[in-house]
Structures are given as structure tokens and as C-alpha cells.
């Protein structure tokens, strides 16, 4: 059967906007990530038959103007897809002034926001539903020269969808969904909170569907030109390679262009790079991307040149064993580099103050002795807090799992001159791994510090600490000053009774009492109603007060 449609479940608000544009004689189509992800989900469904989705069979290139043509879309027959993306993008041949005028008639239903009117973009927020956020409507446009490798010097509005799609970065992102011509409902019929199952036609001038079928990231047109125009597209390619499911490979020509244009990233703002980098770092396939594109990442983080190929590979392998937590993955990514260089890099890239504080604590834990007793675990918990200590253990565990995987790898695997036989048979579970810096003499670096060597702890040891820390928290044992059943007022009262008027002693005595409580496995005051009776809790308080008196008397003597 010959089909030209795909059935999708789309928010009514979006369909209503498309119908408004159509009613006033303009084209409107859905573009962007939703289109790509919809096709990807269908083509790579495990039960989907293998069909020919070449562009010549799949797409009617004059879809908007020659409705008599049909596209072959056998695998999409009776397909209905529903998922809600974060962002919605609509492209139209209506100019920004015309969009403003048209939707001015519907101000009871939509709020118009002037986002980037210079570049043809307006935001429309539906007022009748909370299911859909801001919808961006952008006029078809042709982009001028990119003098700064960041943004076009000027844009020229066009009435051609093909020319608009031609400016996109990758073919998988240069596809459009268009409403079927037979939908004759009035726009107001869609001004509800519901979703609607509707047939959409697909327009693809640049073999985007085929690239999705082949799971390839391919630039639209000349790859070098695309990356020279906007170098952020380099990071977008890496991000897509790391996060898309199933895994997409970056095509050979695109990869060569990425390497050739990598230095253009210096022209991109730190904030824009950081957004793409963080998403990439949390991707399921970040390990292979980070290994293949180290030289690109070194443009962003020259501190990476401090690592040998071996250590870098171990770190990137550890990412595949780490949870999707940014702090954990950042700590793993930079593992073995001196903390001052790591923090300098994160500050340079405009990380927020909370992330900097959290990473600082994880790095400080790395420089402390690995906790080997319940008391030392409490010390670490008190220093870093429950969450950061957990992140620290997750980082160590990921490193240990990576080294274990490395040890079990067959000898014939080579990665960038990485000689795996160096690690074969070594007891990496309990002892430090000596990462040989064979390439350090030939590597020019702006850093004088020698790279640190990676340390590995046994998975069993790390899991033991995890269990112990969980038990400490579950048992509500003291490891913070606020856990103590006494406070500064109690200490001040005892000092006054001994005639000691030194407020500096209060903090010192409280810390000593905390250590005492930790060694005695005392529970926190928050747990008094859960675990201990009022009498038992009072007994612990009295014990600490007696200990405080003893300390104060010794000071007086």
C-alpha cells in the first residue's frame, strides 16, 4: 500500500497553531528533535520490519505544492506514536510580523513572546493547557555568512521549506512533519488540553530518514562548511553520538570535518559549550565518543593533556560504569588530574557555585585516606555530607569496575597504542596501578605538574564502605555537630560555671565531643523518638555533659 502519512499523537495546542497558520494561507510544519525522535522510535522498534527508506522512495520533495505525488511508507502504516518532548519547534513561511498579526486574533488562547524576532523566531505559549510549554515558531530563512563561527551575520527570510531545511546541521534534523490536507477542522476545535491522533506527512530533502535508519550522524551538505559556520555543531555531533538511542555513529566525512574544525570551538561561549558537554557526559555512549574525540575535548579542557593515553582510557571506560549523576561523571572524567587544575577548568567553563563546592569535596575526599573503620566513615560523612560521600564511592566503584573490565579484556584489543598486556595478571583490585607515561616526553603541555597515578580499591572494599555508611545513616548515628543532644549554650553554661570566659573554646569542645559520640556510636538527637526512649536519650545527653565537664575541668587545671 502506498502511504504518505504517519499517525502521531500530538498535543492539540500544536495542531491548533498549525491550523491557524493554514487558515490564514500560510504553511506550517513541525521540525526539530521531535521529528527526529519520532522517526527513530519507529524505525528502530524491535518488531519493525526492515524496509527500504531511501530518500527517493520515501519522500515527496515537492510535498507542499504537488499533492498528487505519494511516498512509500509501508512500515509506518497504522503506526501511532505518543511521547512529549521538552521543546516544540514550528517552521513557517509567514514572516514574524505576519505571525504577530495572525495570533493577535487569538490572544485569548495564546501569549506571544518575542524571543529572537531579528532571526525570525517568536514564542507562543498556550493559555488553555499546562501540558505544552513554549512553542517556538520560526520563519523559513536562509542564513548569511558566519564571520565569528557562532551566529550568522544576517538572515534572509524565504518562502521555501527546502532552503530552510538546508541550513540545518545534520540530515536527521532536516526533516519536517506537515498536516494532512484533508484535516478541515477549525483551529478552535484543537484549543484543549488533550492530545489528538493525527496523520502527518513527512518532508525530507536531505536523506534524513535514511541516515536515521542507518543510525548515522551526517551533516547537511558540506560538513566543513557546517562546522565553520557554527562550531557548536561539533559539540552537538558529539552529544548526539553519546545520547541517541540506539547508538548513532558519526559518519567518516563528518568526523574528519570535526577534527579539522575543532579549533573553532574557541570562538564559542563557555555557556553554550557547557550545555552540550554536560548532556554528552551523561549519555549512554559517552565512553566511545570521549575516546574517539579526545583531541576535540582537549580544546575545551587542555588540562586533559596531563593524562596519559592509558589513564584517559581508564577514566572514559569508568564513565560507562557510573550512574547518570553529573558530579560523579565530572569527577571520573578528570580523575588523577591535580585538584587545582580541575577546579580551574570548571570555573573557566562557568559551572555554578554548587557544582564547584560539590566537586571540591569529592576531590578532597580523594586526597584523604580511604576510610577503613566505622569511625573514619563517619568522619568522611561529616566532612562531605551523605550525598557527596555517596558520589565519591560511586566514582571509586566505577573506576574499580573499569579496571576489572580492563584486566579481563583479551590481549588482541588495542586502543590508541594502549598496551593492555601491561595490566594482564596484575592484582588491580587492592593495589595502586602504575600508569606509565610513555608519551610524556613527546607531549607538549602548558602544565608543569606531573600527572598523578590512578589508584584502585577493591570492589569488595568499596561495597563494604557503602554498606557501613548506609547502616550509619539508617541507624541515625552522630557524625555532625547538629546531631549532638547538646549545643553551644550547654558548653557556654559549663564554661561559665568554671569561670572560663573564652568563647573560642565552645567550638573546640563541641568537635571533641562529636568525636567522642562518633566513637561511642551514639545516635543523633533527631532519632531519639525513633530508636531510643526518652530515658535512654537523656542518658546519652548526660553522658556528653559529663564528658564536657571533664574536659573543661582539665582545661582549668
SS3 track for 193-210:
CCEEEEEEEEEECCCHHH
**125, HSE (Cβ side, Cα atoms, 13 Å):** 9
The 3-state DSSP class for residue 154 equals: coil
Give the total residue count for the chain. Answer: 557
- Domains in the chain (CATH in brackets) are 6-214 (3.30.460.10), 216-300 (1.10.110.30), 308-440+448-474 (no CATH), 481-556 (no CATH)
pLDDT at 407: 83
List per-residue pLDDT tens for the chain, 557 residues long: 233 568 888 898 999 999 999 999 999 999 999 999 999 988 887 444 443 333 333 333 333 333 333 333 433 433 444 556 667 999 999 999 999 999 999 999 999 999 888 889 999 999 888 878 899 999 999 988 888 777 888 899 999 999 999 999 999 999 999 988 666 677 888 888 788 888 899 999 999 999 999 999 999 999 999 999 999 999 999 999 999 999 999 999 999 999 999 999 999 999 999 999 999 999 999 999 999 999 999 999 999 999 999 999 999 999 999 999 999 999 999 999 999 999 999 999 999 999 999 999 999 999 999 998 999 999 999 999 999 999 999 999 999 999 999 888 753 434 444 444 344 344 333 322 333 233 333 333 444 443 343 456 889 999 999 999 999 999 999 999 999 999 999 999 999 888 888 888 999 999 999 999 999 999 887 665 555 556 666 788 889 999 999 998 887 66
Residue in the structure block whose three cell numbers are 586502543: 415
Encode 246-268: b = buried (16+ Cβ within 10 Å), e = exposed: eebbbbeebbebbeebbebbeeb
Residue 331, judged by CB atoms within 10 A of its CB (0-12, 13-18, 19+), counts as buried
Please tell me the pTM assigned to this model: 0.82
- Residue identified by cell 532552503 is 163
Would you state the pLDDT for residue 537?
65
Q: What is the predicted pLDDT for the residue at 83?
A: 53
**Backbone phi, then psi, for 219, in 5-degree steps?**
-70, 150
Nearest CA-CA partner of 305 in 432, 450, 455, 420: 450
For 55-75, write each residue's pLDDT tens digit.
333 333 333 333 333 333 433
Tell me if 209 sits within 8 A of 202, measured CB to CB: yes
CA 216 to chain centre: 21
In this structure, are residues 140 and 64 in contact, taking their beta carbons and an 8 Å threshold?
no
CA distances (Å), 436 to each of 183, 200, 395, 409, 471, in order? 67, 58, 22, 19, 39
The per-residue pLDDT for 481 is 92
Strand partners, 179: 200
3-state secondary structure (DSSP) of residue 288: helix
For residue 453, the model assigns a pLDDT of 38
- The helix, strand and coil proportions of the chain, stated in percent and rounded to the nearest 5, come to 50, 10, 40
What are φ and ψ of residue 540, in 5° steps?
Answer: -65, -40
How far apart are alpha carbons 199 and 157 in whole angstroms? 28
Within a 10 A sphere around the Cβ of 545, how many other Cβ atoms?
A: 17
Amino acid at each position: 500500500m502506498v502511504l504518505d502519512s504517519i499517525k502521531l499523537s500530538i498535543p492539540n495546542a500544536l495542531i491548533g497553531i498549525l491550523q491557524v497558520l493554514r487558515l490564514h494561507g500560510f504553511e506550517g510544519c513541525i521540525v526539530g528533535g521531535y521529528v527526529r525522535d519520532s522517526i527513530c522510535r519507529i524505525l528502530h522498534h524491535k518488531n519493525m520490519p526492515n524496509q527500504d527508506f531511501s530518500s527517493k522512495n520515501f519522500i515527496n520533495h515537492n510535498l507542499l505544492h504537488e499533492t498528487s505525488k505519494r511516498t512509500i511508507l509501508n512500515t509506518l502504516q497504522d503506526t501511532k506514536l505518543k511521547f512529549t518532548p521538552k521543546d516544540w519547534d514550528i517552521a513557517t513561511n509567514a514572516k514574524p510580523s505576519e505571525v504577530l498579526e495572525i495570533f493577535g486574533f487569538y490572544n485569548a488562547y495564546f501569549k506571544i513572546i518575542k524571543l529572537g524576532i531579528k532571526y525570525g523566531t517568536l514564542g507562543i505559549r498556550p493559555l488553555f493547557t499546562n501540558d505544552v510549554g513554549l512553542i517556538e515558531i520560526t520563519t523559513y530563512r536562509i542564513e548569511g555568512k558566519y564571520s565569528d563561527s557562532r551566529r550568522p551575520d544576517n538572515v534572509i527570510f524565504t518562502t521555501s521549506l527546502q532552503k530552510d531545511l538546508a541550513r540545518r546541521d545534520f540530515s536527521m534534523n532536516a526533516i519536517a512533519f506537515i498536516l494532512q490536507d484533508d484535516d478541515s477542522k477549525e483551529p478552535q476545535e484543537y484549543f484543549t488540553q488533550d492530545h489528538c491522533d493525527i496523520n502527518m506527512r513527512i518532508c525530507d530533502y536531505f536523506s534524513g530518514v535514511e541516515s536515521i535508519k542507518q543510525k548515522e550522524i551526517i551533516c547537511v551538505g558540506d560538513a566543513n562548511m557546517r562546522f565553520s559556520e557554527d562550531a557548536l555543531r561539533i559539540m552537538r555531533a558529539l552529544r548526539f553520538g553519546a545520547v541517541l538511542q540506539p547508538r548513532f555513529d558519526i559518519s567518516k566525512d563528518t568526523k574528519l570535518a570535526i577534527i579539522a574544525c575543532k579549533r573553532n570551538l574557541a570562538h564559542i561561549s563557555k555557556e553554550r559549550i557547557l550545555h552540550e558537554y554536560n548532556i554528552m557526559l551523561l549519555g549512554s555512549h559517552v565512553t566511545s565518543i570521549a575516546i574517539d574525540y579526545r583531541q576535540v575535548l582537549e580544546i575545551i579542557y587542555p588540562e586533559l593533556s596531563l593524562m596519559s593515553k592509558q589513564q584517559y582510557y581508564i577514566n572514559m571506560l569508568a564513565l560507562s560504569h557510573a550512574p547518570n549523576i553529573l558530579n560523579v561523571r565530572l569527577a571520573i572524567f578528570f580523575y588523577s588530574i591535580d585538584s587545582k587544575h580541575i577546579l580551574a577548568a570548571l570555573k573557566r567553563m562557568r559551572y555554578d557555585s554548587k557544582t564547584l563546592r560539590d566537586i571540591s569535596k569529592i576531590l578532597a575526599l580523594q586526597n584523604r585516606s580511604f576510610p577503613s573503620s566505622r569511625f573514619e566513615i563517619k568522619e568522611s560523612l561529616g566532612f562531605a555530607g551523605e550525598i557527596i560521600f555517596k558520589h565519591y564511592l560511586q566514582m571509586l566503584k566505577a573506576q574499580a569496575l573499569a579496571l576489572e573490565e580492563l584486566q579481563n579484556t583479551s590481549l588482541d584489543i588495542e586502543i590508541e597504542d594502549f598496551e593492555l598486556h601491561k595490566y594482564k595478571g596484575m592484582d588491580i583490585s587492592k593495589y595502586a596501578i602504575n600508569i606509565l607515561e610513555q608519551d610524556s616526553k613527546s607531549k607538549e603541555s602548558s602544565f608543569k605538574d606531573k600527572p598523578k597515578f590512578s589508584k584502585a580499591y577493591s570492589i569488595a572494599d568499596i561495597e563494604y564502605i557503602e554498606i557501613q555508611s548506609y547502616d550509619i545513616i539508617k541507624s541515625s548515628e552522630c557524625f555532625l555537630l547538629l546531631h549532638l543532644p547538646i549545643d553551644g549554650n550547654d558548653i557556654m553554661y559549663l564554661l561559665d560555671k568554671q569561670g572560663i570566659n573564652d568563647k573560642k573554646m565552645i567550638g573546640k569542645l563541641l568537635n571533641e565531643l562529636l568525636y567522642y559520640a562518633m566513637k561511642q556510636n551514639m545516635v543523633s538527637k533527631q532519632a531519639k523518638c525513633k530508636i531510643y526512649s526518652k530515658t535512654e536519650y537523656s542518658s546519652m545527653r548526660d553522658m556528653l555533659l559529663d564528658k564536657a565537664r571533664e574536659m573543661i575541668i582539665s582545661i582549668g587545671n
